[in-house]
């Protein structure tokens, strides 16, 4: 059984929202810890300068860290696979990506290269084993618009991927 999805394209903002959510869900204590230290330090020492340092962290340091996170996780080849317009064929061997832009090579992603498959109300996430926070994003609305039965896709993914989480 094979499922073919044509003209799949995701905007960069649609990709970044789940990327930030995944990153901050795992790393939120590291962003909160310096703020707590500055806030508690300011209250205990009765010194407003600690609160100013906390505000500097929020408005100056954290945005710079977010830029570094963006460069590290969002400017990779695998992210381009989600953003470029493509045709996706899903079968027992894996995912086959054929891009409409001739400068991009066709890609084959075997099921062994997919760490897990998750979904929410808007997207399917094919998490890749390449590096953390890399995933291929397929909108669920593209399935509906092309008349693909979502149950067939779920059966195929569940049979081939050991790590499917609904």
Sheet with 107-110: strands ordered across: 3-8, 86-91, 94-99, 107-110
Closest CA relative to residue 83, chosen from 19, 144, 27, 147:
19
Confidence of residue 131 (pLDDT cuts 50, 70, 90): confident
Q: How many domains does one find in the chain?
A: 2
Average pLDDT, the chain: 89
Last residue of a domain, one of 55, 74, 93: 74
Residues 40 and 120 in one domain: no
Residues 61-80 pLDDT 10s: 999 999 998 899 889 989 99
Residues 20-30 pLDDT 10s: 999 999 999 99
CATH assignment of the domain containing 92: 2.30.29
Residues 138 and 66 in one domain: no
- The residue segments making up the domain with residue 132 are 3-10+77-165
């Amino acid at each position: 059984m094979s499922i073919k999805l044509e003209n799949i394209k995701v905007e960069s903002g649609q990709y970044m929202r789940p990327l930030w959510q995944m990153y901050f869900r795992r790393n939120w204590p590291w962003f909160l810890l310096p703020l707590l230290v500055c806030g508690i330090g300011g209250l205990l020492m009765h010194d407003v300068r600690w609160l100013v340092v906390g505000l500097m962290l929020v408005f100056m340091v954290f945005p710079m860290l977010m830029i570094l996170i963006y460069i590290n996780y969002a400017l990779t080849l695998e992210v381009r696979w989600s953003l470029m317009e493509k045709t996706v064929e899903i079968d027992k061997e894996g995912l086959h990506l054929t891009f409409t832009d001739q400068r991009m090579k066709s890609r084959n992603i075997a099921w062994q290269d997919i760490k897990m498959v998750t979904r929410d109300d808007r997207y399917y996430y094919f998490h890749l084993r390449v590096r953390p926070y890399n995933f291929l994003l397929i909108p669920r609305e593209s399935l509906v618009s092309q008349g693909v039965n979502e149950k067939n896709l779920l059966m195929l993914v569940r049979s081939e991927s050991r790590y499917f989480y609904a």
